[in-house]
Amino acid sequence: MAAQISTGASELRDITKMERIGAHSHIRGLGLDDRLEPRANSQGMVGQAKARKAAGMILKMVQEGRIAGRAMLFAGPPSTGKTAIALGMAQTLGPDVPFTMIAASEVFSLSMSKTEALTQALRRSIGVRIKEESEIIEGEVVEMQIDRSLTGATKTGKLTIKTTDMETVYDLGTKMIDALSKEKVTAGDVIAIDKTSGKVSKLGRSFARSRDYDAMGADTRFVQCPEGEVQKRKEVVHTVSLHEIDVINSRTQGFLALFAGDTGEIKPELRDQINTKVAEWREEGKAEIIPGVLFIDEVHMLDIECFSFLNRALENEFSPLVIMASNRGMARIRGTKFRSPHGLPVDLLDRVLIVSTHPYSPDEIQEIIKIRCEEEDVTLADSALTVLTSMAAQTTLRYALNLISCGQIIARKRRAERVEVEDLRRAYTYFMDEKRSVQWLKEQQGSLVFEEIGSDAATKDAMDLS
Ligand SMILES: Nc1ncnc2c1ncn2[C@@H]1O[C@H](COP(=O)(O)OP(=O)(O)OP(=O)(O)O)[C@@H](O)[C@H]1O
Ligand SMILES: [Mg+2]
């Protein structure tokens, strides 16, 4: 089986990943200049200069492919931009370098063991850039003739394709005919057919035919009829992750599991075979390893077993850069009764570069609010902006950001386009922030279910032990 490790490249080429971020959709990068100095307000990023610069430096090392098996920890209070900076890094990396983001609690799923979930996440973050020679047919369609059998079940046909130098006739089978009709290929189109995967792509219409029709969509692209041979060899380069190779080659699941996301556990022997094969490809110059980034958000939610597994995994030959974020101070390490900084064991902390994030100044908060308003298409009155900024200082940045869209709905109800102070005030009375919620609970004097009156410490301990 080892001999037939497939990369599934031809099938994978068409998968585009969709990203939905929401709270961080205004972040378009780290906002650094060429010398990695953070700009005050750029690419949706404001302030937090040191952490952004540190992130930029690490990124540079990743891009140069020099870093593997390193780890980095963003530590700081809630809503100081840890997740935002990590997403900014992802955007800067470019499409070819894998970036995987998981929340630590995802590891505790029922369908697979913790270490398997972590292994999958780690392998998702390692790219393999594979060079493949593929044979393509490229030319202008002269004629396409399709014969259907009486029942219509089978189709056969002939396709005549030319370049400026030659003309060739190909026999078509049912699959190829379907692929051509899906692309709506007609005579006069310039097309390319990948011979291994059978994928048809339309490159445009031939200039020679530009006068044949008067009515043509504005988006019709005219191209020259290609020169030379109809069949050409082309070198194509594509990047897949180690995890994708694992899944495609796991016999029980196969390629379709990638779409379902339901990959189950993958046998260690298979992984070993794939590692050997990839190393072989690398030696032959057929493949290149691209260590990417694995971001583990809320990392304090991992337990001691996961941490020791990570310690070991970081020393592996195929290891990505692991970035973690935690908002805990001295906290109990999950699964033990010991306390440790950020809820991480000291031996792991010893291996990581720690970057701290700090609360924002009122000016920075104001800038972030402005950016969010633009992103959510909300107009704030100047006075409302000042009020919202001071609200953020008294409550949290997140709470204030949440009020933007609430304020807009209230403003719209009175048929106004601009959000005024009054709208924010009303939103403030509808939705409580954390401090007011605690106050409210105190006022209820234990009328809620399962409340332990006056024993804050007891509750804390109960939580820590879980
Ligand atoms: N420097 C920044 N520039 C622009 N927007 C920011 C910045 N920092 C944070 N934000 C925005 O503020 C909100 C809160 O930040 P974020 O979620 O990154 O905090 P966090 O540090 O991950 O907090 P937690 O510890 O609670 O997870 C997000 O909507 C984020 O996009
Ligand atoms: Mg976060």
The answer, yes or no, to whether any atom of ligand 1 lies below 6 A from the CB of 27, is: yes
Q: Read off φ and ψ for residue 56, nearest 5 degrees.
A: -65, -40
Q: What is the pLDDT of residues 73-113, one digit of tens each?
A: 999 999 899 999 999 998 888 778 899 999 999 898 767 88
Q: What is the reported pTM? A: 0.75
Q: What is the pLDDT of residues 303-341, one digit of tens each?
A: 999 999 999 999 887 889 999 999 999 999 999 999 999
Range(s) within the chain of domains with CATH label 1.10.8.60: 362-444
The answer, yes or no, to whether any atom of ligand 1 lies below 6 A from the CB of 44, is: yes
pLDDT band at 452 (very low <50, low <70, confident <90, very high): low
Q: Using the structure block, give the residue that is written with the tokens 């709506």.
A: 184
Per-residue model confidence (pLDDT) at position 186: 87
Domain 362-444 has CATH 1.10.8.60: yes
Euclidean distance between CA atoms 267 and 427, whole angstroms: 53
Range(s) within the chain of domains with CATH label 3.40.50.300: 41-97+292-356
Span from the CA of 403 to the centroid of ligand 2 (angstroms): 19
Which residue has its alpha carbon closest to ligand 1 atom 4?
45
The answer, yes or no, to whether any atom of ligand 1 lies below 6 A from the CB of 125, is: no
The answer, yes or no, to whether any atom of ligand 1 lies below 6 A from the CB of 404, is: no
Euclidean distance between CA atoms 89 and 359, whole angstroms: 20
Sequence-separated (6 or more) residues with CB below 8 Å from residue 448: 441
Q: Output the CA–CA distances (angstroms, integers) from residue 444 to 395, 436, 440, 450, 456, in the order listed.
A: 21, 12, 6, 13, 16
Question: Which of 43, 80, 296, 373 to probe ligand 1 with, by most ligand atoms within 8 A of CB?
Answer: 80
Which residue has its alpha carbon closest to ligand 1 atom 7?
81
pLDDT band at 151 (very low <50, low <70, confident <90, very high): confident
Span from the CA of 366 to the centroid of ligand 1 (angstroms): 14
Mean pLDDT of 221-234: 87
Span from the CA of 85 to the centroid of ligand 1 (angstroms): 8
Q: Kindly report the CATH number that applies to the domain delimited by 41-97+292-356.
A: 3.40.50.300
Paired residues of 128 in beta bridges: 240, 289
- Closest atom of ligand 1 to 77 CA is 25
- Closest atom of ligand 1 to 85 CA is 18
**Is it the case that residue 206 has pLDDT exceeding 60?**
yes
Q: What is the pLDDT of residues 352-403, one digit of tens each?
A: 999 999 999 999 999 999 999 988 888 999 999 999 999 998 888 999 999 9
**Is it the case that residue 8 has pLDDT exceeding 60?**
no
Mean pLDDT of 139-149: 88
Range(s) within the chain of domains with CATH label 2.40.50.360: 132-236
The answer, yes or no, to whether any atom of ligand 1 lies below 6 A from the CB of 46, is: yes
Q: What is the pLDDT of residues 266-295, one digit of tens each?
A: 888 889 999 999 999 999 888 888 888 999
Nearest of 328, 310, 306 to residue 319 by alpha carbon: 310
Paired residues of 71 in beta bridges: 322, 352
Span from the CA of 368 to the centroid of ligand 1 (angstroms): 9
Residue that wins the pLDDT comparison between 240 and 16: 240
Which residue has its alpha carbon closest to ligand 1 atom 8?
81
Span from the CA of 324 to the centroid of ligand 1 (angstroms): 15
Per-residue model confidence (pLDDT) at position 333: 94
Q: Which CATH architecture has domain 132-236?
A: Beta Barrel (2.40)
Please give the full DSSP string across 308-341, using - where no structure is assigned.
Answer: HHHHHHTTSSS--EEEEEE--SEEEPBTSS-EEE
Rg of the chain on CA atoms, in Å: 29
Per-residue model confidence (pLDDT) at position 249: 83
Per-residue model confidence (pLDDT) at position 466: 44
In the chain, % of residues over pLDDT 70: 86
Euclidean distance between CA atoms 204 and 216, whole angstroms: 12
